[in-house]
Amino acid sequence: MAETASPSAPIETWITGIGLATSLGEGLDAHWEALSHQRINADEKSFAPYVVHPLAPVNFDAQIPKKGDQRQMEAWQRIGTYAAGLALDSAGVKGNTDILARMDMIVAAGGGERDLVVDSGILNAEAKGNSAPGYLNERLMSDLRPTLFLAQLSNLLAGNIAIVHGVTGSSRTFMGEEASGVDAVRIALARIAAGQSDIALVGAAHNGERRDLLLLYEFGGFNLKEKYAPVWAREHNSGFALGSGGAFLVIESRAHAEARGAKPFARLTNVVADHARRKRPSDITSTLESLWSRLGSHADGTAIITGATGAEPVTSEERAFLRAHPDIPVRAIGTLFGHTMEAQFPLGLAVAALSLSRGALFAPADTSGQEIDMTTPPDRIVVIGAGHWRGEGMALVEAIG
């Protein structure tokens, strides 16, 4: 669409498609079922002592029909391309080339897994004295698969979605751990709300079953070890359990949705973000408080879905914020899905929109008393995403009708 001057009031934006493939399964019914029964898929053994939430079995052929395409992708790209396809299906725009050709795409991404065998082989050889100049070159030249680069490259999740599903209006990849997921949705919404775009595919994917990622977070002491526990019950054993999963949303202006007869899951009213310096205790708490006020007033019928990681000190600071807002039912998706990093905020939004569309907040899976029951249908859900190291974000999702 031709962009014109920003409208005086933000254009109403709906979530009309949700695509989920996670440790709890694939698709909306499977997720609702798992959430309703507090099902959790945590694996304490495969990556021991680290706890991870592995991807549930997925039939990739259903969304990525060409085996050749699947072979060109790393696991995170396959998960994301799959979830993106589900979101397009859910919105009813799959294969609609007219819409896909002008659909925005913003993906939050990390990178793909390294070839661990190649890395270990080189380090072992070097340890055995193969340290001639050029030895590393020689090994990398012969051992690296040429296509591995593309399978690891951050912007190639978006690239693969363009290739497999034909989303080509734009293609932007944001990086930067949890915050990139917040900003991807924030910018996609801002573009629609300002009339710069009508419809966007936005989301992220994460493969948590990776030793090279565990290594990065182990440097900072962020991994949950030995025993799984709900996010709020990790005082004595803090950390996050990496989770695998993809979460994509189709968001569009209400007018665009209505014109094509699309049904909304929920309204995406606002997304705000900040970058606390985190130099003083309570920096995060006060940043969350100011984001909360920027979102607007919160009457009865509000619930919170948070991407709280279980890592410290950020989880305790978020808890301090939540204590200042007692009586609001809270659900930590980290308890259920693990920590899907870039995907955690889009996942929170997906779960929020799903809950609003089903007219219920799922029951707590928490043992600490932090999460209370909600017996009435939620009118609005605030999604919180505070990164394990940097970045704070919040979104307001509202029920329609």
Residues 356-395 that bind another protein (CB under 8 A): 389-393
Q: Residue 156 or residue 308: which is nearer to another protein going by CB?
A: 156
Distance (Å, whole) CA 76 – CA 385: 21
Q: Is 1 in the site for another protein (CB under 8 A)?
A: no
Least distance between another protein and beta carbon 327 (Å): 29
CA–CA separation, 342 and 111 (whole Å): 11
Closest separation in Å from C-beta 113 to another protein: 10
Q: What is the 3-state secondary structure (H, E, C) of 217-283?
A: HHHCCCECECCCCCHHHCCCCCCECEECEEEEEEEEEHHHHHHCCCCCCEEEEEEEEECCCCCCCCH
Taking the mean position of all CA atoms in its chain, how far away is CA 19? Answer: 11
User: Rounded to an integer, what distance in angstroms lies between the CA atom of residue 42 and that of residue 2?
Assistant: 48
Q: Which one, 284 or 399, has the nearer CB to another protein?
A: 284
Q: Is 212 in the site for another protein (CB under 8 A)?
A: yes
Cis? peptide before 326, omega within 30° of 0: no
Copy the structure tokens of residue 86.
Answer: 């589900």
219 lies in the binding site for another protein (CB under 8 A): yes
171 near another protein, rule: CB under 8 A? yes
- Nearest-angstrom CA–CA distance, 85 and 248: 9
Does 67 bind another protein (CB under 8 A)? Our answer is no
Cβ 205 to another protein shortest distance, Å: 14
Residue 61 or 212 with smaller CB distance to another protein: 212
DSSP 8-state symbol, 166 = -
The minimum distance between CB 76 and another protein, in angstroms, equals: 12
Q: Is 158 in the site for another protein (CB under 8 A)?
A: yes
Question: How many residues touch another protein (CB under 8 A)?
Answer: 84
| Residue bearing tokens 């193969």 | 130
- Does the protein bind another protein through residue 172 (CB under 8 A)? yes
Task: Please identify, using beta-carbon distances, which residue of 222 and 228 lies nearer to another protein.
Answer: 222
Which residue among 38, 96, 168, 368 contacts another protein (CB under 8 A)?
Answer: 168
Q: Is 136 left (phi over 0), alpha (psi -120 to 50) or beta?
A: alpha
User: Residue 188: what are its φ and ψ, rounded to 5°?
Assistant: -60, -45
Report if residue 190 touches another protein, rule: CB under 8 A: yes
What residue type is assigned to position 350 of the chain? A
User: Which residue lies nearer to another protein by CB, 180 or 355?
Assistant: 180
Q: Does 216 bind another protein (CB under 8 A)?
A: yes
Structure tokens at 108: 């939050």
For another protein, which residue of 12, 30, 56, 111 counts as binding (CB under 8 A)?
Answer: 111
- Only segment of 34-42, 269-277, 299-307, 309-317 that touches another protein (CB under 8 A): 269-277
Q: Which of 62, 215, 255, 259 binds another protein (CB under 8 A)?
A: 215
Contact between 54 and another protein per CB under 8 A: no
- Count Cβ neighbours within 10 Å for each residue of 86-99 and write b for 16 or more, e otherwise: bbbbbbbbbeeeeb
Phi, psi of 295 (to 5 degrees): -70, -25
| Nearest approach, Cβ of residue 374 and another protein (Å) | 30
What lies within 8 Å, CB to CB, of 359 at 6+ separation is 377, 399
Is 255 near another protein (CB under 8 A)?
no
Q: Which of 83, 241, 273, 383 binds another protein (CB under 8 A)?
A: 273
Q: Does residue 57 interact with another protein by CB under 8 A?
A: no
Cβ nearer to another protein, comparing 275 with 323: 275
* Least distance in angstroms from the C-beta of 35 to another protein: 29
CA distance 1 to 107: 21
- Rounded Cα distance between 340 and 241, Å, is 9
11-50 residues in contact with another protein (CB under 8 A) are 50
Closest Cα partner for 245 from 362, 110, 80?
80
* Subset of 122-151 contacting another protein (CB under 8 A): 123-124, 126-127, 132-134, 136-138, 140-141, 144, 146, 148-150
Kindly tell me which residue out of 30, 40, 56, 153 binds another protein, with binding defined by CB under 8 A: 153
- Mask for 291-330, x = binds another protein (CB under 8 A): ----------------------------------------
